[in-house]
């Protein structure tokens, strides 16, 4: 299988860049887009896919006949699925998404049932010997999650999904991990917040005891199962927007013993030094579809804005540095007056090239259709292939550097 790191980790891109909420729409985007990407990056060998399955598509795949048909269609194109994006529940393109992307959150039964459906589907799609991952909402929108009762409720909901993952591992012999994806403006916004939530709610004795009851496992094995089936999806754009170096975030999670089943390789928008002209030019990146959380660093520290228009209305042009949650192509270091956070992710790629148990690697630049036209002046499939090639080249460079030491 071609797209792997030197240690055999899976590398793909996320299909959330393509519109498609129904199963028929997913079938269409696979035939039109995924196969075109495969032809560019892996023409002769199987290509792993990072599918985004909305609730409607996932529910359709609960039917055994539809699931068998879909799996056969993937195999006919030399495609296989090893990771799912279970973050957006419903519509994700062409309509106002904004903070609705976090709904339903982990305080609701709908989120639990949707994620359990994804787990059952992935358990059937996984090839023999390949582990699976599902990325998900980091709890919920920060203003909607308050207090210890909410944290305990979310923890129990997540462990209910872990119980199913344990059952899938028992009965089908395949491993699937659920990965919470910290994001600006969410309950889990920073790596430190993720570590705290895992240590206080997801890995301690109460969590272990709940898994014993939910999955029928022994107390001695409960902690290991929680760590094995529940972890963090490290999105490099999100970390950079928070002024966290992705490599530092990775190492912090490793020190805490928290697994990272998936790394989403992405770059955000960076304004190194604000001026009135640059701030005015940033308006081209403000759209009505997605939230573009913005963090501004000045002498006073970090100031967080829920969306780019809020930052544009409230921030002074004082030479501060801006980071914007707007996923831009990872092969672009400069974007006119602006930069990307590409340089932030390179040290992490260098380390991941050599770790023995590398997580799934998934390029995720879903904002292609709302990028200013200047920066999307090539066919989408060509741009995706270029992003995958960029990652492969950086991994190869890192391995050569290690071999040369």
Cα 349 from Cα 376, distance rounded (Å): 25
The mean per-residue pLDDT over the stretch 13-37 comes to 97
Tell me what the mean pLDDT of segment 179-187 comes to.
98
Whether pLDDT at 317 is above 80:
no
pLDDT score, position 7: 54
How much of the chain, in percent, has pLDDT values that exceed 70?
97
State the average pLDDT over residues 34-53: 96
Identify the band that residue 6 occupies on the pLDDT scale cut at 50, 70 and 90: low
Mean pLDDT of 318-332: 95
Confidence band of 154 (pLDDT split at 50, 70, 90)? very high
Which has the closest alpha carbon to 194: 132, 269, 241, 137? Answer: 137
What are the domain boundaries of the chain? 11-270+339-404
- pLDDT by residue (tens digit) across 259-276? 999 999 999 999 999 999
Q: For residue 196, is pLDDT > 70?
A: yes
**pLDDT at position 1, please?**
38
Q: Give the separation between CA 209 and CA 169, rounded to whole angstroms.
A: 20
Q: Return the H-helix or E-strand segment holding 125.
A: helix 109-125
Q: What is the pLDDT of residue 33?
A: 98
Across all residues in the chain, what is the average pLDDT?
A: 95
Whole-number pLDDT of residue 293: 98
What pLDDT shows up at residue 403? 73
Averaged pLDDT for residues 85-91 = 96
Q: Give the pLDDT band of residue 402 (cuts 50, 70, 90).
A: confident
The pLDDT value recorded for residue 133 is: 98
Has residue 16 got a pLDDT over 50? yes
On the question of pLDDT at 344 being above 80, the answer is yes
What pLDDT score was predicted for residue 341? 98
* pLDDT of amino acid 143: 94
Of 4-13, 215-224, 245-254, where does mean pLDDT reach its minimum?
4-13
DSSP letter string, 46-115: -EEEEEE--HHHHHHTTSHHHHHHHHHHHHHTTEEEEEEE-S--S--SSS--GGGGG-S-TTSHHHHHHH
- Whether pTM > 0.95 for this model: the answer is yes
Going by CATH, does the domain composed of 11-270+339-404 fall within 1.20.120.160? no
Q: In the 8-state DSSP scheme, what is residue 14?
A: B
Percent of the chain clearing pLDDT 90 (strictly above):
91
Evaluate if residue 2 carries a pLDDT over 70.
no
Q: Could you report the per-residue pLDDT of 351-386, keeping only the tens digit for each? A: 999 898 899 999 999 999 999 999 998 999 999 999
Mean pLDDT of 324-349: 97
Helix (H, G, I), strand (E, B) or coil at 393: helix
């Amino acid at each position: 299988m071609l797209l792997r790191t030197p240690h055999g980790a899976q590398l793909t891109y996320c299909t959330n860049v393509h519109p498609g909420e129904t199963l028929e729409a997913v079938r269409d985007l696979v035939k039109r887009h995924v196969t075109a990407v495969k032809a560019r990056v892996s023409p002769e060998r199987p290509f792993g896919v990072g599918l985004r399955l909305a609730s409607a598509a996932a529910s359709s795949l609960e039917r055994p006949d539809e699931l068998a048909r879909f799996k056969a269609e993937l195999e006919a194109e030399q495609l296989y699925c090893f990771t799912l994006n279970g973050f957006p529940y419903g519509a994700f393109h062409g309509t106002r998404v904004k903070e609705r992307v976090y709904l339903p959150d982990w305080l609701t039964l709908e989120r639990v049932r949707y994620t359990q459906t994804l787990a059952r589907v992935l358990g059937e799609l996984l090839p023999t010997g390949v582990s699976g991952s599902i990325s998900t909402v980091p709890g919920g929108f920060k203003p909607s999650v308050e207090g210890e009762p909410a944290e305990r409720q979310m923890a129990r909901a997540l462990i209910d999904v872990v119980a199913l993952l344990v059952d899938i591992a028992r009965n089908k012999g395949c491993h699937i991990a659920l990965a919470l994806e910290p994001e600006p403006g969410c309950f889990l916004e920073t790596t430190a917040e993720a570590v705290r939530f895992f240590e206080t709610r997801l890995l301690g004795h109460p969590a272990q005891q709940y898994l014993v009851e939910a999955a029928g496992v022994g107390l001695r094995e409960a902690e290991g199962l929680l760590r094995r089936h529940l972890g963090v999806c490290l999105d490099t754009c999100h970390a950079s927007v928070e002024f966290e170096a992705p490599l530092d975030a990775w190492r912090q999670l490793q020190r805490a013993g928290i697994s990272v089943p998936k790394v989403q390789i992405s770059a955000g928008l960076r304004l190194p030094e604000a001026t009135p002209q640059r701030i005015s030019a940033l308006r081209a990146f403000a759209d009505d579809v997605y939230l573009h959380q913005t963090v501004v660093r000045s002498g006073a520290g970090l100031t967080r804005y829920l969306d780019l228009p809020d930052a544009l209305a409230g921030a002074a042009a004082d030479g501060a540095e801006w980071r914007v949650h707007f996923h831009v192509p990872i092969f672009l270091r400069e974007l006119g007056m602006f930069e990307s956070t590409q340089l932030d992710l390179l040290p992490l790629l260098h380390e991941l090239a050599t770790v023995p148990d590398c997580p799934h690697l998934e390029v995720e630049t879903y904002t292609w259709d709302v990028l200013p036209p200047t920066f999307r002046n090539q066919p989408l499939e060509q741009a995706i292939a270029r992003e995958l090639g960029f990652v492969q080249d950086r991994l190869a460079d890192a391995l050569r550097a290690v071999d040369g030491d």
